[in-house]
Amino acid sequence: MHAVIKGTMALALAVGPLVANADDVVTYDYTGTVTSFNSPNPALDFNCPTACTSVGAPVTGTITINFAAAIPSQSGPGTSGDYSYVFNASSSGGGYTNLPTPEALVYTWTLQSDDLSLANNSPSYNGAINSVSGGLAYGIPYWGATDVEYMSGAQTPGGIKYFTTSNSINLYGGNLPLPFDSNGLPILGNAVSQSNNVTEAYGGNAYASIGYTINSLTRVQAPEIDPTSAVSGLTLLLGSILVLRGRRTTHGQTLPRPPL
């Protein structure tokens, strides 16, 4: 058996309880470079005041992974076509999908480059396809994050056609080690190639896109709790408990009868 496949199968056992054991919300800051830019009308396509961006321009942004938002019926290991998922955390739904609109997304993102500024914050009412997954794509180890937001629709003779904004990040490994860890989080240093883009489309046909590479991926650490604040909070909590206990005792006493 191929070493990559054997290693991936072994990792599947470790990643099994992914959603339950991984940090619920993890955010990364990233930097990168624009590798392609296609937009006939930047002001309309990407709502840019000028020319948006250009090849070679720097890219910055954030990637947030919220495993707690995964919908169990849509998530878990498995296969789909040429993809074998060691893990797949999905939160898809909304009008286009004929599923309930998810309360939150597994994958949210921001991207800035020159005058270009894009982001997704919440699932679109018209539908969202949203997931973070890892495993084998066409036999190649990968980590991927996908978000497709159905923004608006237009009735046509062939049915409703939607305007969509999609963001896709794919990190590919060559051999072991894999481009993700046992918690399903990306490891940029283990990727030998990548394919990342934001695409605007109508009816499934792309009319504008930006391609970019990610050069650095830095996990944002959760703020530490100030020990002084923690002690003050504990003191306040204990004081509140004592007050409530005192009130409960008073309410339980038999009050003296007033003099006649």
Q: Note down pLDDT in tens along the chain; length 260 residues.
A: 334 334 444 444 344 444 444 568 999 999 999 999 998 888 878 888 777 899 999 999 999 999 999 999 999 888 888 889 999 999 999 877 888 888 889 999 999 999 999 988 777 778 888 999 999 988 899 999 999 988 777 767 777 777 888 999 999 998 778 999 999 999 999 999 999 999 988 877 888 999 999 999 999 986 554 455 444 544 544 444 444 445 444 444 443 444 44
Q: How far, in Å, are 14, 42, 43, 109 from residue 112 at the CA level?
A: 35, 14, 15, 10
Closest CA to 66 of 129, 109, 100, 10: 109
CA dist., res. 260 & res. 255, Å (int) = 15
Cβ(87)–Cβ(134) below 8 Å: yes
Distance of CA 260 to the CA centre of its chain: 73
Distance of CA 113 to the CA centre of its chain: 20
Cβ(137)–Cβ(10) below 8 Å: no
**CA neighbours within 13 Å on the CB side: how many for 183?**
14
Cβ(184)–Cβ(132) below 8 Å: yes
